[in-house]
Amino acid sequence: MEVSENEDEIVKKRPKKDDPFSSLRDENDDLRCQVEAYKNEVDVVKSDFKMELDNKDKQLKIVQQTLQSLQQQLFEARNKQNEDDMKILELQAKLKLKKSDKTEVEANESNKEKEGTESEVDTTDPALLFQSKLSEKEAKLIGLIAIFLHVHPFGASVDYVWSFLHKLDSSLKPSEVEQLMTRFTSVFQQELSGIGANMERRWVFEGFRNNSIL
């Protein structure tokens, strides 16, 4: 009896050998858990990516619709601008035509008025034509200047002529005398005489010269 009890104790104290299948099962369970975790993570990533793609697609569609709307508005604006430009050109053409017609009418009326005025004046009467261009004072002055220069065949200065006329009309100015002679170049001519500092401007009666030539 004692021997058998000792043997049982030895058997109990002897270490048990490791079970190889148990460790494999544990590793398999660990791997399965990891695979499940990876699978869940991949599903989450796929879901997020799909949601992001959907949002991008919606945004792209909104941008495309906005762009199409802007293109349509731009096309309509261009058409309206072209129509407005055509209307402006038509109005400008009509305005130019009206101005041309108005100018032509005014020119015709002006010509008619001139023709009427010319028909009223008898140009065949020299005395009447002379009176229409000269005042009585100017006619007298021209006669006096012609007489004065007639007796001075080599000419006289403006001041010399004025000094003669001033005795007859004290209100007369030298500039008025010169302007009057300048208006009638067919009767009075201005000449230069002398050299350098002694150069002098003299007025000559052309009627006297014509008579001398004849």
Identify the residue with better confidence: 3 or 19: 19
Q: What is the mean pLDDT of residues 27-39?
A: 88
DSSP states of 101-159 as a string?
A: HHHHHHHHHHHHHHHHHHHHS-TT-HHHHHHHH--HHHHHHHHHHHHHHHT-TT-B-HH
For residue 82, is it within any domain? yes
How do residues 95-106 score in pLDDT, each as one tens digit? 877 776 777 777
pLDDT for residue 9 is more than 60: no
Instruction: Read off the CATH number of the domain in which 198 is found.
Output: 1.10.10.10
Domain that holds residue 154: 136-205
**Contact partners, residue 29, CB within 8 Å, separation at least 6:** none
How do residues 58-117 score in pLDDT, each as one tens digit? 888 888 887 787 788 878 888 888 888 878 877 877 787 777 677 777 777 777 766 655
Q: How many structural domains does the chain have?
A: 2
For residue 6, is it within any domain? no
How do residues 172-200 score in pLDDT, each as one tens digit? 899 998 998 898 888 888 888 777 777 78
For residue 107, is it within any domain? no
pLDDT at residue 197 in the model: 74
Contact assessment for residue 165 and residue 181, using Cβ atoms and an 8 Å cutoff: no
Q: Do residues 85 and 143 both lie within one domain?
A: no
pLDDT for residue 147 is more than 80: yes
Looking at mean pLDDT, say which of 8-22, 35-49, 59-73 comes out highest.
35-49
For residue 115, is it within any domain? no
**Which band of pLDDT confidence, cut at 50, 70 and 90, is reported for residue 212?**
very low
pLDDT at residue 15 in the model: 47
Q: In terms of DSSP H, where are the helices of the chain?
A: 2-13, 20-120, 126-133, 136-150, 158-166, 174-183, 206-213
Identify the residue with better confidence: 145 or 10: 145
How do residues 50-59 score in pLDDT, each as one tens digit? 888 888 888 8
Where b means 16+ CB within 10 Å and e means fewer, 53-62 reads eeeeeeeeee
Q: Do residues 91 and 159 both lie within one domain?
A: no
Q: Mean pLDDT, the chain, as a whole number?
A: 77
Is the CA virtual torsion 44, 47, 49, 52 positive or negative? negative
